[in-house]
Structures are given as C-alpha cells and as structure tokens.
Amino acid sequence: MVDDASGRPRYFKSSNEAAGFAISLAMSHGRPVNIDVLVHSPAGARWYRGSSDGVEEYNEDPDASVFDRIVVSAESTGRVS
C-alpha cells in the first residue's frame, strides 16, 4: 500500500507496481514515500519473508497494521554529461 499524492491509500498486487508508483511520487514531490507491506496471515508472512522466520515475526503481533515499511527516496543530482 502506498499513499498517493492526496493521501489516499493505493493498493498493489506486486512489489514492482508499488515500487514504481512510490518512486514516481518521490521523484515528483521530492520527499520520501512509504511502501507499507500488509500481511494478513502466517502463509502471507512466510511468502513475503521466504522462510518460517516470517511466520514467527507475524505471530509476535498478528494484529499489527503494517508488517513491514519500506521508505523510498529519489534525489535529483542534475544533468550528467
């Protein structure tokens, strides 16, 4: 999930879609953008983390609203010759 420019949540089915949207926002607005990974089950946590460590992390706080937060920043360094 990524909040759009007006603060509304946008949900994506893939990390590539979410990352592309977040990078575009960071570039156009010049500020960091959060990608919030929402996981609603132990199976989802296993898939996301790729191991049983994800299940253990999920079970520590299954009611957490955000399982993981990735902050995306984009900084212009100007023209390159």
CB 10 within 8 A of CB 2: yes
16 is in which domain, residue-wise?
Answer: 2-72
Whole-number pLDDT of residue 76: 85
Query: Rounded to whole angstroms, how far apart are CA atoms 40 and 60?
Result: 13
Beta bridge partners, 37, equal 68
Q: State yes or no: pLDDT of 70 exceeds 90.
A: yes
Query: Rounded to whole angstroms, how far apart are CA atoms 21 and 54?
Result: 25
Is residue 16 in a domain? yes
What is the tens place of the pLDDT at every residue in 14-50? 999 999 999 999 999 999 999 999 999 999 999 999 9
Is residue 79 in a domain? no
The amino acid occupying position 69 is R
Number of domains in the chain: 1
CB 3 within 8 A of CB 9: yes
Q: What percent of the chain has pLDDT over 90?
A: 91
Is residue 81 in a domain? no
Is residue 63 in a domain? yes
Residue 75 — very low, low, confident or very high, per pLDDT cuts 50/70/90?
A: confident
